[in-house]
Amino acid sequence: MTRGTDSDASAKIIAVVLDLLTTDGYDAVQLRTVAARAHVSLAKIYRLFHTRDELIIAALAQWMETNAYAEITPPEPGESVRDSLTRLLRTIFEPWERNPKMLEAYHHARTGPGGERLDSQGLIAVLPAVELFLRDLDPGYLEDLGLILGNMALALIGRFAAGTLPITEILATMERTVYRLTADNEAASRRGATTR
């Protein structure tokens, strides 16, 4: 087999997996179904991807690169940290909102074997832009910001995947979190303070 043949087969297989993930969800990705729809043998799938998990992760990685990370841009001149973070979150999470089954699949895949690849891909995609608009911040604050936002995102995605949070609440909650992390909250945290 030539490399071109393998890459063509790989592209067909991933296209089928992406279609299944988008329309029917994570559990619909069965290798016999994928083989039949892609017009390849099961042996070919196993030779190219080794496991179902590896195949799903490869498909999700491609989808994320094309959808969630493709439009990440550096900060605008004079843009505040809050506005930069909000814009970044919208760029990443709006494609997920439009494709909820993909977000469910992401949650299942990232918690399974090899799922750390998806986390690494996100860091590699986001870090260059983040470093530009956060480079002048206090290192301790920056570390806390990353810890809080990262854990909040994973918790919200987990709640969505469990069916306890509507997908539209993820971005809204992340934006409120950014607001609280970048605002002067001293007055609002006093006893008896009125709400906005």
Give per-residue pLDDT as tens, 94-107. 999 999 999 999 99
105-148 confidence digits (pLDDT tens): 999 999 999 999 998 898 888 888 777 777 777 888 888 888 89
The answer to whether residues 45 and 99 touch, using CB atoms and an 8 Å cutoff, is no
At 34 the three-state DSSP class reads helix
